[in-house]
Amino acid sequence: MKVITSIKEMQSELSKQKSLGKEIGYVPTMGFLHEGHLTLLNKARQENEIVVLSIFVNPLQFGPTEDFSTYPRDFERDRALAEAERIDYLFYPSVEEMYPNDSSVKVVVQDRTDVLCGASRPGHFNGVATVITKFFNIMMPTRAYFGKKDAQQVAVIAGLIADFHFPIELIAVDIVREKDGLAKSSRNINLLPEERQQATILYKSLQIAKKAIDEGERNPLGLINMISEMITSESNGQIDYVEIFSYPQLKQLEKLEGTIIIALAVKFTKVRLIDNLIMHIE
């Protein structure tokens, strides 16, 4: 595995691979790798001759009061995990390498950002779309892998790929969970011990909502209230949002039908967790 920190070197390595006709799978991450990331890497390994992992905690996608400085980082551990996954290139640029001076162009996402994390984190998806546009231009991969844990991000990236004509196939990968159902996240380490226990209610409440839908419930508001009450009564977390929308359009629904997402975000002392469930209703 080659560790590369320079954009120029990364571009020249991959253009060599492409001139040899190799297919490239790309997995963007912010590091502190866990099984969720490894599942994306594993899928990329199966489907491509060359696999590139990037690790970059992107300052542009964090708000001024968010956890950029406390976001967990451990490069040596990540490097060993990437090595074990047989990654070909680990791209690990500095902030200065990615943003050398005040940018003259940034990507602005117009659609689907007035809800969920887009509403709670103003500018977040512009930061994501800008950095992913830069990474796509550096890598020009055959396929790019994203987790459905960040389902709104998947929808935004699908729009970015379509609108900017990137010849890249987007592969969305299912959420990987802990044994007790908590979605794996680099941020879980910043939960206090009692919060780690309480955080299982996020997934449990989604499962109970799914059961209610399977049994015929079609009223979004009733389900939203039910989930909110469960989270409030079983944890000290502050609900940021609990919402149900069509997916991937992220439009409000009067009645549940078609493909829907139940999405939630809950703030604990030092960390805000998200989770979701996507399902199809006949």
Active site residues: 37
Q: Which of residues 16-75 bind ligand AMP (CB under 6 A)?
A: 29-30, 36-37, 40
The one segment of 9-17, 179-187, 228-236, 238-246 that binds ligand AMP by CB under 6 A: 179-187
Q: Which of residues 211-240 bind ligand AMP (CB under 6 A)?
A: none
- Give least dist CB 27 to ligand AMP, A: 7
Nearest to 230 by CA among 201, 258, 259, 268: 201
- Give least dist CB 142 to ligand AMP, A: 17
How far, in Å, are 15, 47, 164, 191, 202 from residue 182 at the CA level? Answer: 40, 28, 35, 12, 7
- Give least dist CB 163 to ligand AMP, A: 19
For residue 130, give both structure tokens: 């800008």
Quickly tell me which residue has 């729009």 as its tokens.
Answer: 159
Per-residue contact string for residues 133-162; x = within reach of ligand AMP by CB under 6 A: -------------xx-xx------------
- Give least dist CB 178 to ligand AMP, A: 9
Asked if residues 187 and 270 have their Cβ atoms less than 8 Å apart, the reply is no
Residues in binding contact with ligand AMP, number by CB under 6 A: 16
Whichever of 40 and 244 has its CB closer to ligand AMP, that residue is 40
Nearest to 274 by CA among 120, 159, 108: 120
Whichever of 51 and 173 has its CB closer to ligand AMP, that residue is 173
Element (H, E) at 172: strand 169-173
Can you tell me the distance from the alpha carbon of 245 to that of 260, in angstroms, rounded to the nearest whole number?
6
Quickly tell me which residue has 């902030």 as its tokens.
Answer: 95
Q: Which of 129, 144, 160, 176 lies at the binding interface for ligand AMP (CB under 6 A)? A: 176
- Give least dist CB 150 to ligand AMP, A: 4
Tally of residues, the chain: 282
Can you tell me the distance from the alpha carbon of 280 to that of 247, in angstroms, rounded to the nearest whole number?
9
The one segment of 111-119, 133-141, 181-189, 209-217 that binds ligand AMP by CB under 6 A: 181-189
Sheet containing strand 89-91, edge to edge, reads: 2-4, 89-91, 50-55, 24-29, 143-147, 169-173
Can you tell me the distance from the alpha carbon of 176 to that of 35, in angstroms, rounded to the nearest whole number?
7
Q: Which of 43, 45, 79, 184 lies at the binding interface for ligand AMP (CB under 6 A)? A: 184
Q: Is 125 in the site for ligand AMP (CB under 6 A)?
A: no
Q: Which of 126, 186, 190, 198 lies at the binding interface for ligand AMP (CB under 6 A)? A: 186
Question: Site residues (CB under 6 A) for ligand AMP?
Answer: 29-30, 36-37, 40, 146-147, 149-150, 173, 175-176, 183-186
